[in-house]
Structure 1
Amino acid sequence: MSVRVAVVGLGWAGRELWLPLLSEHADFEVVAVVDTRPEAREAFGGVAGLPVYSTVEALSPRSVDLAVVAVPNFLHAEVAATLLGRGVSVFLEKPVCLTSAEADALAAAERGGGAMLLAGSAAPYRADVGALADELPGLGRIRHVDLAWVRARGVPQAGGWFTQRSKAGGGVLLDLGWHLLDTLASLLGPARFAQVVGVTANDFVNAGSWSAAWRHDRPAAAAAGDVEDTARGFLVRDDGISVSLHASWASHEARDVTRIQVVGGEGTAELRCTFGFSPNRRRSELTLTREGTTTSVPVPDEPIGNEYRRQLDRLAAVLADPRNRGRAIGEARTTVGVIEDFYASALSARTRDAVPAYR
């Protein structure tokens, strides 16, 4: 039996990503869409005869099994908590929450409504990340991980809510950084962070020429961005593994590059690829280095965005297992906690361009 799904939010992610993927997947049946904006509902026009609602209060466990929530960041916790409280399970795009307080509210709503919160983070489902994971047992004891996702030009929705701290919660750290931290947890297992040091910068966020062209956003010239476009940090997990993190929406690089290097006592594995949907990307390459010799490891070639399809392949089974209730919240608490500590560190450094944490 197919999982009945409602898509909440008809922005880029809901319209261009989740609606097409869910509609073509055998495990799911899209039965409704929701958006508070009249212009978005009118533009959608009841495609395929789907009911279009203006509020999530129109959804109930009798009509849907799962709501895929793809609304702006500042609405994530509010919309998800409302649905969970009504007993509707939620698949929530990252960031799951903007603060630890929002994580508490989501946990209470999940318990109170008896539904389940699932978190959307597709990067760990990439085939090249899976190939990297396969190499880790041969590296010996893991000592250090370098994580980087650096775009050449990729500030999302310049001048819009994505670059306003009051609405987005933060900048690139909450956006690309959340993906990197989720990928780290998928490779090494979850862990808390004992030490977090970070700095932020905002050299590109208010220059429209550095926008993400593939999103086809219309820049909102009247609004000035006050979030970071670059974050660099050094973290130490409770298990002693050190982590360097570098996330940038824009840079002076020629191409968008994601880099994951895992250093162990018996070797180093490094993946260079490009996460996300940018057309300005590089081919995935995985190497293994031991005692001065570097060898290439074959990685599968897959279409852009296939990780989202692979995530959906497992989603119905995850939803059906009651043991997963509370798991997404636990993982989100760790992630948002390290992000809060990162922002606090950047603010305490008192650098000229430090971007304060969301308050």
Structure 2
Amino acid sequence: MTTSAPIRIAMIGLGWVFTEVWAPLLANPGFRVVAVFDPDDGALARACDAFPAARALSAVEQLDPAEVDLAVVATPNHLHAPVGASLLRRGIAVFIEKPVCLTVAEGALLVEAEREGGARVLAGTAAWHRADVKALRAQVDRLGPLRTIELSWVRARGVPGSVGWSTKGASAGGGALFDLGWHLITIGLRMIGWPAVWDVVGSVSSDFLGRKGFGASWHVGGERRAEPGAGQVEDPVEDTVRASWRTRTGVFFVLTTAWASHIALDRTRIAVEGADGRAELDCTFGFSPQRSGASSLRVLTSGRIEDVELPDEPVGTEYRTQFGLLPTLLADPNQPGAATGESVRIVDLIERIYHSAGVALTRAPGLRAG
């Protein structure tokens, strides 16, 4: 690969994330889709129509390391780590959509495959690249020694649906915690340098799963569901998680994630409090049309309130920002091991939250890792 040549992309998994996120981004002339794979013949045909120069694969193993610079793994969750590891071992760099892995053991599998194949893992946590999140991060140093970080992403009606893999434990690995919580945990812990985590407590519930009227309507096209959020769910995951923990450095975290709730509009809040002040970001993450309005960031110090000006950022800009960083990350000599290291930390915390909540995690058999 040269700096002037387009980056050659293989898309592995052609569902909603590909259709709504990756396909529009890959129209960029700096990238060229050379191969696509999905077990769904219809999805494969649509991808080939969108990218006529791409080769349709009948199996992931058909991908030739010599023809690709980066494989994007956007499969159902339970295949992320095994597919990623199989590609890495063959020397193919991968971008793995979140959740990168579903267990610490899967994370270790990716770490070893990255070393063995000499390729690198890149990982998706687009919310980190939001302009309002960047503005919040810029306020942290002025808050003094940190005491508390509150992380909340609560949807009004956003259950991914009862038909398909997203709400089934064997294929999704988990529910709102893996889906929404992965973003929040990344932001909260990365912001303070990934200190060790202690005293994890969590609870989960599924009060809205399968109830008509609480589905994510904006996911219908990608997942081809007739009535999102309606009907009996087999092997259900959680739709709501509440958790807390403290770090070795003394910061206390409170986390709430929910696919659905009794509020009228989706709401995301990240609040960081220190000895010298408190910063509060109110916004709406994701693609939901049920948005709470423009983002707001305010800093409170000794009874005074300062409103921080934020840019007007269109929905989805964070994905374009993340996408634009791919060439740099592919060339960065410090990148190997970085994404897998963070992913292991995240999934370790997620496993401990589920363990505290008494959840027995299930896994579907995926591709063989070796």
The one-character-per-residue Cα deviations of 1:211-251 (angstroms, maximum 9, x if unpaired) are 10111140484643511100001111122111000000000
Residue correspondences, number = 351
Partner of 1:344: 355
Partner of 1:231: 241
CA distance in 1 between counterparts of 2:84 and 2:73 reads 7
Partner of 1:270: 280
What amino acid is aligned across from residue 129 of structure 2 in structure 1? Y
Q: Which moved more, 1:85-94 or 1:317-326?
A: 317-326
TM-score (norm 1): 0.94
CA contact (8 A) 1:77 1:102 kept: yes
CA distance in 1 between counterparts of 2:274 and 2:288 reads 31
Spell out the pairing of 1:1-359 with structure 2 (5 A cutoff).
1=4, 2-24=6-28, 26-49=29-52, 50-216=54-220, 217=223, 218=225, 219=228, 221=231, 223-224=233-234, 226-282=236-292, 283-347=294-358, 355-358=359-362
For the residue of structure 1 that corresponds to 2:334, the secondary structure is helix
Deviation at 1:20?
A: 1.3
What amino acid is aligned across from residue 346 of structure 1 in structure 2? A
CA contact (8 A) 1:266 1:290 kept: yes
The one-character-per-residue Cα deviations of 1:18-60 (angstroms, maximum 9, x if unpaired) are 1211222x54222221112223223334334122212221222
For the residue of structure 2 that corresponds to 1:196, the secondary structure is strand
CA contact (8 A) 1:6 1:64 kept: yes
Structure 1 residues 160 and 221: alpha-carbon distance in aligned structure 2, compared to 1, 3 A threshold: farther
Deviation at 1:108?
A: 1.4
CA contact (8 A) 1:346 1:356 kept: no
For the residue of structure 1 that corresponds to 2:27, the secondary structure is helix
CA distance in 2 between counterparts of 1:257 and 1:326 reads 33
CA contact (8 A) 1:196 1:341 kept: yes
Measured on the aligned residues, the alpha-carbon RMSD in Å equals 1.5
Structure 1 residues 298 and 223: alpha-carbon distance in aligned structure 2, compared to 1, 3 A threshold: same
Q: Which runs of 4 or more aligned residues in structure 1 lie more than 3 Å from their structure 2 counterparts after TM superposition?
A: 43-46, 219-223, 355-359
Q: Which moved more, 1:106-115 or 1:244-253?
A: 106-115
For the residue of structure 2 that corresponds to 1:262, the secondary structure is strand
The percent identity for this pair of structures is 48
CA distance in 1 between counterparts of 2:190 and 2:291 reads 23
For the residue of structure 2 that corresponds to 1:258, the secondary structure is strand
CA distance in 1 between counterparts of 2:139 and 2:48 reads 48
